[in-house]
Amino acid sequence: MQYRTLGRTGIKVSPYALGALNFASRMGNTEEESTRIVHRALDAGINLVDTSDAYGDSEEVLGRALRGRRDDVVLATKFGLGPDEHHRGASRRWITTAVEGSLRRLQTDHLDVYQLQRPDPETDIEEILSVLSDLVHAGKIRAFGTSMLPASDIVDAQWVSERRGLERLRTEQPPYSILNRGIEREVLPVAQRFGMGVLVWGPLGQGMLTGRVRRGQTTDVNRAKYFTSFTDQRRLDAVEALVDLAQEVGVSMPHLAMAFAVSHPGVTSALLGPRTTEQLDDLLAGVDTVLDDDVLDRIDQIVPPGTDVGVLDQAFVPASIAQVELRRRPVDGRSAA
């Protein structure tokens, strides 16, 4: 496996990374199966593993699975999505509490990458950068970043770091797949400009790019119950066109999707979320797949660069869009009729 540098951190990571959401017992996996997945991934050359303190007991399961192999892993976790208002966000108090909990559960003395899982508009960016800088200086984390931070906020954070002499955002973790290419417009160019590593999640489009979801049918019934995107006709139409393309060029849909995700020069790694070792083995079989310009041009015709087909269920919606009162001008002090 060919390793890449995570932005300008000097940290070498694999282009395929292992996401640990499915290791949580609430997701239905046994700890034994999750441990087998971790070991299989490490043996195959994957060295970046990503989890979160909001993923149930995923950190505990991962910590036990990595016993004796911690030095082989670039270990990333996230904070900010606690169970209530007293245990979430990015205030100094919560970050310092959260990091200690993650270190304990992961059975390690440091984290390689520590990430704010969702933007926190209620906390000043200077406070966030200040406490994370303190953690770097204390040796508890090597680098820090964000997930789903808008490009304008990334720029703002970089400027604050420069003005205040603070450590900088080193990574961003946005959603990215053939079906969701919106980050190509601003997020990826901005991340490249500031030398940030980008770890993308959802390269298989929440399962729509596995080949198991087709117009009028799906064998992934559990996902179809939870994701409204599975019934989005625009996404289903795009999938049908991609299935035809994959068959024409002789690659499986998952291999096409993963190869696309890591082909962008602004993307460092793409996160896999296998539930079984068989799923992991199937994805790893395509690690050497490279899409030539003709195939990439054909993908561009199906989903134009910088565009999203439909809405990704788990995507972050900023308050400026989600809150009606922030995007409608009052009429004579009252809401417009």
* DSSP one-letter code for 180: B
Note whether 143 and 106 are within 8 A (CB).
Answer: no
Domains of the chain listed by start with CATH number: 4-326 (3.20.20.100)
The residue ranges of the chain whose pLDDT is under 70 are 83-84, 216-230, 313-314, 332-337
Note whether 210 and 179 are within 8 A (CB).
Answer: no
Predicted local distance difference test score (pLDDT) of residue 23:
95
Predicted local distance difference test score (pLDDT) of residue 82:
75
Between the alpha carbon of residue 215 and those of residues 202, 230, 231, the distances in Å are: 20, 9, 9
Predicted local distance difference test score (pLDDT) of residue 313:
67
Predicted local distance difference test score (pLDDT) of residue 154:
98
Predicted local distance difference test score (pLDDT) of residue 1:
82
Predicted local distance difference test score (pLDDT) of residue 83:
67
Question: What pLDDT, in 10s, does the model give residues 269-297?
Answer: 999 999 999 999 999 999 999 999 999 99
DSSP string across 248-314: HHT--HHHHHHHHHTTSTT--EEEE--SSHHHHHHHHTTTT----HHHHHHHHHHS-TT-BSS--TT
Note whether 251 and 292 are within 8 A (CB).
Answer: no
Note whether 201 and 175 are within 8 A (CB).
Answer: yes
Give yes or no: 114 in active site: no
The tokens for 332 are 């004579």
Predicted local distance difference test score (pLDDT) of residue 337:
47
Distance of CA 6 to the CA centre of its chain: 14
Helices 31-44 and 277-284, axial angle in degrees (round to 10): 20
Residue type, 48: L
Q: From the candidates 3, 16, 55, 176, give the one annotated as an active-site residue.
A: 55
Note whether 313 and 229 are within 8 A (CB).
Answer: yes
Predicted local distance difference test score (pLDDT) of residue 219:
52
Report, in this order, helix, strand and coil percent for the chain, each rounded to 5: 45, 15, 40
Backbone angles phi, psi at 318, to 5 degrees: -65, 155
Question: What pLDDT, in 10s, does the model give residues 258-272?
Answer: 999 999 999 999 999
